[in-house]
A and B are shown apart, each in its own frame.
Chain A
Amino acid sequence: MGNKQTVFTHEQLETYQDNPFRQRIAQVFSEDGDGHMTLDNFLDMFSVMSEMAPRDLKAYYAFKIYDFNNDGYICAWDLEQTVTKLTRGELSAEEVSLVCEKVLDEADGDHDGRLSLEDFQNMILRAPDFLSTFHIRI
């Protein structure tokens, strides 16, 4: 109740600027989706990104982070965004689309052309280093 709303200024984000998904993280955890966080949102973020957080929780929020258009599925467009951010635009368009295609090919369990949360969890929980890399320290 009555939490102060903290706006993350650009400078503050600067300190965490190396993460290509910083905007997404802020959006996912902020209540109104524009990256402005209250203290509670902030706590949410760090409770999810802490080492103690359970695997499924992490997977769930990772899914949200990668779901750029917030439609509950990681579609090709989301994937493109992800890849582009990840590689800082160093891959050509064909490469990006190839990668997206491959990703969908691999993980899309129900062949609907996009990744649902289950597909995503199924995939990411098998990744050897997801748990160790998906957390943040302050």
Chain B
Amino acid sequence: MKPSKACQRYRSIRRNTSQHYFYQESLLLSNLDDSFNADETGESNDPEQIFQNIQFQKDLMANIRCRPWTMGQKLGALRRAKEIVLKFEGRLTRTRGYQAAGAELWRKFVRLACNFMVIFIPWEMRIKKIESHFGSGVASYFIFLRWLFGINIVLTIMTGAFIVIPELIAGQPFGSTASKTIPKEHVMSAQDLDTVWSLGGYLQYSVLFYGYYGRERRIGRAGYRLPLAYFLVGMAVFAYSFIILLKKMAKNSRNSLASVSNENYTFCWRVFCAWDYLIGNPEAAESKTAAIVNSIREAILEEQEKKKSKNLAVTICLRVVANILVLLSLAGSIYLIYFVVDRSQKLEQSKKELTLWEKNEVSVVVSLVTMLAPSAFDLIAALEMYHPRTTLRFQLARVLVLYLGNLYSLIIALLDKVNSMSTEEAATKNNTSHWIDSTIFFATRTASEEEKWSTPGPGTGLLRNSTWAPEETSVPAYTLPLSEANKTTVYTQRPQDQCWETYVGQEMLKLSIIDMLFTVASILLIDFFRGLFVRYLSDYWCWDLESKFPEYGEFKIAENVLHLVYNQGMIWMGAFFSPCLPAFNVLKLIGLMYLRSWAVLTCNVPHQQVFRASRSNNFYLAMLLFMLFLCMLPTIFAIVRYKPSLNCGPFSGQEKMYDIVSETIEKDFPAWFGSVVGYVSSPVVILPAVLLLFMLIYYLQSIARSLKLSNQQLRMQIQNARSEDKKKVAQMVEARIQTQEESSMRLPKDSDLSSQLSWAQSVAPQSNGTVVNLDSSSSKRGRGETAAQRTPPSPQPGLGSPSSPLPGTSKSRLEQNANRCLRGRSTSAGDRHENRSCSPGMRMKHAEVVHSEPLFRRDFQQIDPPLRGPGLSVVVPRGPRSCAPRYYIINERDSRQIPHPTFWPERHFRMDALGDMVEMCPRTRRQGVSWAPQQGHSPQLSEEEENAPRRELVQWSLHPQSLRGLQGAPHFYVGDRSESQTLVPEHQRRMMHFKSWDDGFEAPLDRPVCGHKKPRSRNFQSAQHPPKLRGKPKVEPSLSESDSVSAASSSDQQNGSNDQSLQVAPSPAKFRSSVGQLGRRKAIHRQELVADLNDLICSNV
């Protein structure tokens, strides 16, 4: 049980370590080994083990997507894992099996549902289409739009469900009260186009605006507290927006590792990340190429400019001028807006009838400024001669400031108006106080009107008119309730006109509408008609329209995104005063989505400049957050600062809007609650709370700083470790080169060669019986054979004894002998098919292996394409196959050369596991490979030698497991019938084993090895586990043979450039020989041939 304990411990260690994906992956194959092992031993009924095994398999199934395997490998592994899980879970408990089945069903269902749900993701296909045409930058705009759309939907639901619908259902119906009725003399004009256009008439007295909502504290039978709901929802809109924005930002920043500012891979990113793989449109590809060339050139220029100093005077002057211009235009636009608002007030007071233009000039001017100023900034930016990226940033900042300035000047002007409105209101109130019935609210209103109209004096009238002006035009008539009707004889106007909230809401909605119209117009004009013009008149024009002046419209991502942000800012600003604004915005965004996507696809070309904005970029969101904050300010300010209108809206009659909360608390909650709230809101609690918050912020910030620091240090450490590692490897390689040179003289005489050769043979049989490398000379072969024949009798003792400690070199020698013996056996098994009765069976088995490992084979095909000729195809899969395992071994050995199992080598193992060794095998390592045979003699590596025998044994003893891991267990049993048979597969196993071992150190450690085959393997196991864990880096001796094989096949082993031939050469040779042998043995081994053919069918057809 010792091994199992060890394995458990190891697993726990593994669990505790961070589940790095490479690492997980590295565990996988070993994991399979484990399971098969358990399966095979059968008697290991330890439920804990089985449970862990199942957990492994489940892990594997969950993460199979993350593994860099080929599809076939994945499928195979998945299938296997499923089988195991099913089997063992069935063994543990029956219910568990049912659970698993249920989970499986559920998973399938979820998957189906997910696929189904995709249909309902709005505009998914549209966005993907755009993405595939224009790249991810443009698509990010649409994704952002969609996201905003989602937010607006939620906002709409919030306002709709809690404000609008209750008001519609339970509130007093239209016309029942003064604030819900169109004034009498305006009924006639209520349906005029310009009234509707300026959102007057029926629209003004609808749920669209604040003024319509009743002031009753409770409405309906259920007693819904509408005013409270109104206030709370108004606040919740902001709260929700903040939360969702911050959440999204946090998620994004978690996703992107780009936070480290000091790591700057300018050129790398420009080269490796520049191409947008989504681009599938030639034009987009062209412009992308141009953009990449530009960006690379820029980077080069920058790099060069870093070195040389330049004359800055002119540029500085220009920049100063440009900034002054920008500031001027900003100030101009702000002044313009303020002026227009002011003028509209004056106009309204001086004229009774306003033209359409005069009514809408505010919004039109704002939209015009919004549209034109960015272009002006663009022109100005050309003066500055900044780097394009800097230019873009400046541009964005300026546009953002402009938008904000616009919104702010607008809202300030509006609030100014509100201010004067309320003062006026107060004045009229005072004036009318002497009138008859001041207690009745409406009476005072009408009274004030009457007085106003009865006093025609220019002085007072002017003043009043100036404040009341907007309402005069837009919201005049008012039908009086009966009680007041007799009193107010003459024109009774605008009792509820003082509804400044409605006014603000109207303005915001108007602005939003006009902004939408301007957007549509600009899309049509600037993009569509320009595109038409350029496209169809290009042939008849004196210059090339497409490439010279007008060109096609570019899709300016940054500005469009800013526009969206601005638009959303308007919504936030106005949502409190016009609850339906989010709903309107939803419609607007839908329209915008369709129009924009259409315009982009039909008449835009992608932006030339590279604008790095992607989903994982917080840039848009940061702007949006900024906007949200700034838009919230004026609204909050208005709510806090101004008194709600007296005769309209849910808060009429209160001092402040938020009084509704305290009022509710006082009246509708128990007394203790009120007192608690009182305490909580007292400075005694608030001040410490604020202090606490500050402390918390400071604390978190300092933690973040220290984390950043430690992050940096860790990175440094990693880098250091890596470079040290490399140095050590280099030193080692050098040392080996030296020893190699020394021993190369001795080499031919050395008996190692024979073992090497036998190894070569052993490789060959596994692929196709007794094939020997043609590259190796016949004499060598003979020697190898003799060695093989000499050795067979004594493998067992040789293998049995190694656990006993022996002095360094002699031990390694012995161990090598043992190796040789074993190998010899295997070769002989391969070589002397005729003599062995069971060999066909073995071959069958082999074929099965091939069957079960199609992917393996594929990898080899990759190695030597020349073999794929039609006539020779019969043997193709085999030749390469025999080659590839060797490859693994080579790599294996390489990785072990690195004595310190830092994370660096691990990664290489990972690569190895992929099977694409050819690509992965580094040159230096290959060189190292060639030195391997001498390792036994090299003095520097004595410690390795000491470890070597044991390791060797481990290896041998473990083969079956690994084989199992890679092939179906049943096959294994077939092969295990006799010793001679098992030995041959063993090689295979070994190779696969290496592969699996690469993947995880723990693979071989745990389970008892297949029992019936070799009892001795068990004996060793316990002793061997620890060294294996630690001493991973070495299996060199065994590997050296493989190395020498390749050495034999290639003329110059030390030449790095020969790497490819190193692998390719042996396989054709083998192939040829195998053909010959096949021919010879066809009659005998028909079975095998059949298997082969099966193989081929699978692989090549």
Q: Please give the residue numbers on chain A whose beta carbons come within 8 Å of chain B beta carbons, in ascending order.
A: 1-2, 4-5, 15-21, 30-34, 38, 40-41, 43-44, 47-49, 52-54, 56-57, 60-62, 64, 66-67, 70-73, 79, 82-83, 86-88, 90-91, 95, 98-99, 102-103, 105-107, 109-112, 116-118, 120, 123-137
Contacts and interface: CB of A to CB of B under 8 A. Distances in A.
Interface stretch (B167-175, B609-617, B975-983): B609-617
A47 B65 contact: yes
Contact of A56 (B66, B293, B615, B916): B66
Interface string B137-159: 00010000000000000000000
Contacts of B140: 132
B267 interface: yes
A87 B859 CA distance: 32
A98 B66 CA distance: 36
Contact of B907 (A1, A87, A88, A118): A118
Contacts of A117: 907, 911
A111 B277 contact: no
B868 A128 contact: no
Interface string B238-265: 0000000000000000011110100111
A91 B274 CA distance: 15
Interface in B914-929: 916, 918-923
Contact of A87 (B258, B278, B296, B1097): B296
Given A129-B136, A136-B278, A87 B292 contact: yes
Give the size range of B's interface with the partner.
Answer: 35 or more
Nearest to B128: A137
A7 B464 CA distance: 85
B745 interface: no
Q: Which of B68, B136, B279, B615 has the most CB of A within 10 A?
A: B68
Contacts of B163: none
Contacts of A103: 267-268, 271
Contacts of A61: 68
A95 B300 contact: yes
Given A57-B66, A117-B907, A99 B272 contact: no
A64 B616 CA distance: 24
Contacts of A88: 289
A71 B1063 CA distance: 13
B274 A86 contact: yes
The 7 closest A-B pairs by CB, nearest first: A18-B285, A70-B919, A31-B858, A132-B614, A102-B267, A40-B71, A129-B614
B861 interface: yes
22 contacts: A18-B279, A21-B275, A30-B862, A40-B70, A47-B71, A49-B277, A54-B65, A56-B21, A72-B921, A86-B292, A87-B289, A90-B293, A102-B299, A110-B726, A117-B911, A126-B265, A129-B273, A129-B612, A129-B616, A130-B269, A133-B273, A137-B128
Contact of A31 (B264, B271, B861, B1098): B861
B612 A128 contact: yes
Nearest to B921: A72
Contacts of B722: 109-110, 118
A124 B263 CA distance: 11
Contacts of A120: 272
A90 B289 CA distance: 9
Contacts of A136: 277-278
B68 A57 contact: yes
B719 interface: yes
B68 A132 contact: no
A125 B106 CA distance: 34
B861 to A, nearest CB: 5
B616 to A, nearest CB: 6
Q: Determine the main DSSP class of B at the interface with A.
A: helix
A87 B293 contact: yes
Contacts of B284: 18
Nearest to B918: A70
A21 B285 CA distance: 12
B904 A109 contact: no
B33 interface: no
A82 B65 contact: no
Contacts of B99: none
A109 B719 contact: yes
B258 A126 contact: yes
A111 B904 CA distance: 15
Nearest to A121: B907
B39 to A, nearest CB: 23
Interface in B44-102: 65-68, 70-72
Contacts of B264: 106
B266 interface: yes
Contact of A133 (B22, B65, B614, B1100): B614
Nearest to B610: A129
A33 B854 contact: no
B41 to A, nearest CB: 30
Contacts of B1097: 2
A125 B128 CA distance: 24
A110 B22 contact: no
Nearest to A74: B272
B278 A133 contact: yes
B666 interface: no
B869 interface: no
Q: Which of B277, B296, B904 has the most CB of A within 10 A?
A: B277
Interface in B820-879: 851, 854-855, 858-859, 861-862, 865, 868
A95 B271 contact: no
A110 B855 CA distance: 34
A111 B303 CA distance: 20
B922 A82 contact: no
A15 B273 CA distance: 22
Interface string B296-307: 110110010000
A71 B923 contact: yes
Given A40-B71, A56-B21, A71 B278 contact: no
Contacts of B921: 71-72
A33 B862 contact: yes
Nearest to B618: A128
A112 B292 CA distance: 27
Q: Which of A5, A62, A99 has the most CB of B within 10 A?
A: A99
B282 interface: yes
A126 B282 contact: no
B662 interface: no
A107 B264 CA distance: 9
A128 B616 contact: yes
A71 B1059 contact: yes
Contact of B265 (A31, A32, A49, A127): A127
A128 B389 CA distance: 15
B289 A111 contact: no
A44 B132 contact: no
Nearest to B75: A40
B280 interface: yes
Contacts of A131: 255, 614, 616
Interface in B1064-1101: 1097-1098, 1100-1101
Given A33-B862, A64-B919, A107 B268 contact: yes
Contacts of A112: 726
Contact of B135 (A21, A91, A133): A133
A95 B296 CA distance: 9
Contacts of B858: 31-32, 38
A135 B278 contact: yes
Contacts of A107: 265, 268
Contacts of A125: 257
